[in-house]
Amino acid sequence: MRTPRINRPNQALHWREPGFANAEFLSASYRTHSFPPHAHDEFALGVIERGAQAFLDGDGKRAVMRQGTICVINPGQFHEGRPAVDGGWDYRMAYLPTSDLVRLLRESNHKVHGVPHFAEVVIDDVETMGLLLAALRCSESNDASQLEKTSRLVAAIFQLFNRHALPPSSAARADVVSGAVKRAREYIDAHVVENPTLDSIALAAGMSAFHLLREFKRTVGIAPHAYLVQRRAALAKHLLMQGRPLRQVAIDVGYCDQAHLSREFRRFFGVPPSIAMR
C-alpha cells in the first residue's frame, strides 16, 4: 500500500535549469525540518503547495507562508523557517541569480536600474501564483521542451515583478551594511574553506574582535561563525550539484570528514545529500 504523502519523511530534490541562467530549483516536502538562520545570494521565489511554513527574518519580522501563496525572499535577507502546522509544508522554489534577473528585467524595461526589492515575503495573488506554480512544475518535467520551460518562467517572473516588486529607490528595507561588516563578510566568503579565525576577520574588517562580533550580529542577523557555517554548506551544495563526489567535496570545502558534511547538509537542507541531487 502506498504511504500517504503527508506521513513521509522530509524530502527535497535540487536541480539546475540550464536554459535559465543555470538557476537552481527545489521541490520539497518538509514535515519536521526547521531551517537555521541563513541567506541566499539569489532571489528565492516559490509557491506553497500544501500546509504552511513559519518565517522569521533577521530583523525579527514574522510571517506565515500558507498554501496557495507566493513566497519571496530578497538576496542577502537572513531568515529561518519551520513548520507552521502539523505535517509541515510542501513547496517549489526557484533561486534566480540577481545579475541575470536584473538583466532580464532591463531588457524589457530600460528604466530598470539597480536591484528591485520585495517589501513582503508573502504575496497573495492567485493569478500570478498559478503562472509561477505551472512554471516551477514544468521545470521538473522531463517531457517539456527547454523552450516551454524558459517561456513559462519568463512570463511568471515578469508578472510577479511588475505587480509586486519595488524599484531600488523605493525599497522598504535598507540593505546598507557598514564598511567594516562588509569587509568581514567578503573576507569570510573568500576564505570559507580555510576556517578563518576571529582575529583574522577582525583585522580584515579594521575593528576589534569584540566590536566586530557586536556589529556583525546587529547588521547581518547572525554571528560570524554561523555565517561561515551556512556559507560552507552553500558551497558544498553548489559543488555537489556540479556532480562532484561527496567525499571530495567534504575535503575541498574543509569538513573534517564526509559524515560531517552530511550532517551539516541535512541541517540546512532537510535531507542528506545522497537523496537531494538530481
Q: CA 188 to CA 114: how far, in whole Å?
A: 25
Mean pLDDT value of segment 217-232: 90
**Could you tell me what percent of the chain has a pLDDT over 90?**
65
Out of 3.60.15.10, 1.10.10.60, 1.10.10.10, 3.40.50.300, select the CATH number for domain 179-276: 1.10.10.60
| Burial class of residue 4 in the structure, from the number of CB atoms within 10 Å of its CB (0-12 exposed, 13-18 middle, 19+ buried) | exposed
pLDDT for position 8: 67
**pLDDT tens digits, 153-202:** 999 999 999 999 998 754 444 444 578 999 999 999 999 998 899 999 99
**Nearest-5° angle of CA 266, CA 272, CA 275?**
145
Every domain of the chain with CATH number 2.60.120.810 lies at: 5-170
Query: Is the pTM above the cut of 0.95?
Result: no
CATH code, 5-170: 2.60.120.810
Minimum mean pLDDT range among 9-23, 72-86, 109-123, 128-142:
109-123
Cell of 156: 511568471
pLDDT for position 170: 47
pLDDT for position 178: 78
Every domain of the chain with CATH number 1.10.10.60 lies at: 179-276
pLDDT for position 235: 94
Mean pLDDT value of segment 8-28: 89
Distance between alpha carbon 136 and the CA centroid of its chain, in Å?
15
CA-nearest of 162, 157, 27 to 100 is 157
In whole angstroms, how far apart are CA 268 and each of 66, 153, 237, 261, 262?
Answer: 21, 26, 10, 11, 10
**Could you tell me what percent of the chain has a pLDDT over 70?**
92
Contact 78, 57 (CB under 8 A): yes
Minimum mean pLDDT range among 54-58, 123-127, 177-181, 189-193:
177-181
pLDDT for position 65: 98
Mean pLDDT value of segment 49-72: 95
